[in-house]
Amino acid sequence: MTTILRAWTFWILTPLREECREHLERTKLKEYREAEGCLRATALFRDLGDGSTEVEFVSIWDSMARIRAHVGEAILESTIDPQDHRKLLDREPRVRHYEVSDRNAADVPAAWRALLPSAKK
């Protein structure tokens, strides 16, 4: 089974950074972290120095089949809620998927393993 890194990028106004972080933690990151097959999910923020911030939403999955089961067949579409589009400066039109060659890169810390849905069965 191939581990897959799923990533998509969008840009916001820097003053919205904390609001965006909190929103992602309550919604998409929570949803992804609870999804069967998702090993890890996080958001990365990078201030571009021009009043905008780049946000990279990254998740690591145990297979492409699990991604499809979670997001459906439109695996290249970002999952930004329509009501959130108005807060975006821009976004990449497609989600990117990468095969992870370093198995250690996808290791879930031991403290997190008990929190995974598969551990609760």
pLDDT at 119 over 70: no
Domains of the chain, by residue range, sit at 4-105
Does residue 88 contact residue 54 with C-beta atoms inside 8 Å?
no
What's the rounded Cα separation, in Å, for the pair 20 and 43?
A: 10
Determine the pLDDT at residue 116. Answer: 44
What's the rounded Cα separation, in Å, for the pair 101 and 86?
A: 37
CATH architecture of 4-105: 2-Layer Sandwich (3.30)
pLDDT at 56 over 70: yes
Determine the pLDDT at residue 86. Answer: 78
Reported pTM: 0.80
